[in-house]
Amino acid sequence: MSKLLNCLIKKDNSCVPVWFMRQAGRYLPEFRQIRLHNPDFLKLCFNSTLATEITLQPLKKFNLDAAIIFSDILVIPHALRQQIEFREKKGPRCPNFNINSFLETSEKEFLLTLNPVYEAIKKTKNVLEKNKSLIAFVGAPWTLIIYLFNLKTQNNVNKKIVIKNKVEIKLVLKKLDEFLKIHIIKQKEAGAEVIQIFDSWAGLIQEENLNEYCYEPNKSLVKFCRDNKIPSICFPKGLKKNYKKFVNEVKPDAINIDQDIDPLWAKDNFNKICIQGGMNPNLLLKSQREILDETERYIDIFKNDPYIFNLGHGILPQTNPNVIKTIVDKVNLIKR
Ligand code: 1CP
């Protein structure tokens, strides 16, 4: 069994598997080279040969324990007939959300659009070393809703969002629950061994809506994964103290903590669940000494617990790739 699965399933704490969110991405010159010739981001996601190549790029450079398939959480709204724009620096958005076409999309049409993702998973799995795991992912319903309804603007980055169209959102949540499960099972059948559920904007949900928009939708996906024997990792970014409630309610196999979570508090409060990540991605822009000290700090705190090394969010584009090597080598030196 791979190190990652050992940690996730058997709660083995004898070694620390390591991988990074956004390990296949803009900090790598070889990714930027491919991107230069492929200006249409979604087209690139659906090019299974290039998606496989990008997925494997970081594994060629660093001794990582897992590959995460190169795709995006927004392939789902796209496959549900919505136009998605990927704008340089401003992030993605859905300019004309049409609820009727969204709800009308059939499973057959949805899978036809997403087939290249499954092809990329198959191709990657075929060449990935046996001791490395292949991670696939979905965006949690709330985080997809943020993009569908353009709820995130430049001025509300940290403000809780007041929901006005509750009836519409209920319908969208139901459709997403159903179709995210289809995407999960197809990714598993293609060869993915672990599913990470990204709820990157969970921190924008009002306290009184957390149950409806965060805990329940994540719980439904985690239960589906468990029923289908796929380990799940949840990342409800920005939940602060409610991370504890999330863990107790949703019960994923592992929880990715963000940089606002004190790792000591997590260790004492998330009783025996596997913990992933935590280190601030901004720290990777600091000196080698600071980077190594912080890497050691996380490993030391979790030395008696099942822990997967990762960050509190994705690798920043301005990160020097050598820093990733420094961290990976350090993790592997301390705990192998
Ligand atoms: O070159 C480019 O400009 C494209 C940048 C890029 C990349 C490399 C985007 C646009 N998506 C991706 C790939 C991607 N997205 C992966 C690949 C695997 C890997 O991790 O290496 C994954 C897992 C995602 C997931 C994703 N997309 C999330 C969840 C994780 C997170 O970072 O919070 C989210 C929120 C998105 C939306 C998205 N897609 C792209 C960007 C720039 C964003 C975020 C923008 C925003 O802040 O709103």
Q: Whose CA is nearest to atom 17 of ligand 1?
A: 70
Instruction: With a cut of 80, say whether residue 330 has pLDDT above it.
Output: yes
93-127, pLDDT tens digit by residue?
A: 999 999 999 999 999 999 999 999 999 999 999 99
Assess whether the C-beta atom of 77 lies below 6 angstroms from ligand 1. Answer: no
Q: How far is the CA of 102 from the centre of ligand 1 (A)?
A: 22
DSSP classification of residue 128: S
Strands across the sheet with 307-308, in order?
A: 66-68, 133-139, 194-198, 232-235, 254-257, 274-277, 307-308
- CB of 302 shorter than 6 A to ligand 1: no
Domain count, the chain: 1
pLDDT at 155 over 70: no
Write down the pLDDT at residue 157: 66
35 lines ligand 1 (CB under 6 A): yes
- Helix, strand and coil content of the chain, in percent to the nearest 5, comes to 55, 10, 35
Given a cut of 90, whether residue 87 has pLDDT beyond it is: no
Q: Which band of pLDDT confidence, cut at 50, 70 and 90, is reported for residue 312?
A: very high
CATH number at residue 109: 3.20.20.210
Q: Compute, in angstroms, the gap from residue 206 CA to the centroid of ligand 1.
A: 24
Q: 95 in helix, strand or coil?
A: coil
Q: In the prediction, which pLDDT does 286 show?
A: 98
SS3 278: coil
What is the DSSP code (8-state) at residue 149? Answer: T
3-state secondary structure at position 196: strand
The sign of the CA dihedral 114, 119, 124, 130 is positive
Q: How far is the CA of 71 from the centre of ligand 1 (A)?
A: 8
| Span from the CA of 268 to the centroid of ligand 1 (angstroms) | 31
Is the distance from the beta carbon of residue 51 to the nearest atom of ligand 1 less than 6 Å? no
Residue 222 predicted with pLDDT over 70: yes
Percent of the chain with pLDDT over 70: 99
Q: Residue 325 sits in which domain range?
A: 3-333
In the reported structure, the alpha carbon of residue 72 is separated from the centroid of ligand 1 by a whole-number distance in angstroms of 6
Residue 336: what pLDDT? 62
Q: Ligand 1 pocket, 137 CB below 6 A?
A: yes
Q: Residue 160: its pLDDT value, please?
A: 92
Rounded to an integer, the average pLDDT of 63-75 is 98
| Whole-number average pLDDT of the chain | 96
pLDDT tens across 22-62, in order? 999 999 999 999 999 999 999 999 999 999 999 999 999 99
Q: Which atom of ligand 1 is nearest to the CA of 23?
A: 21
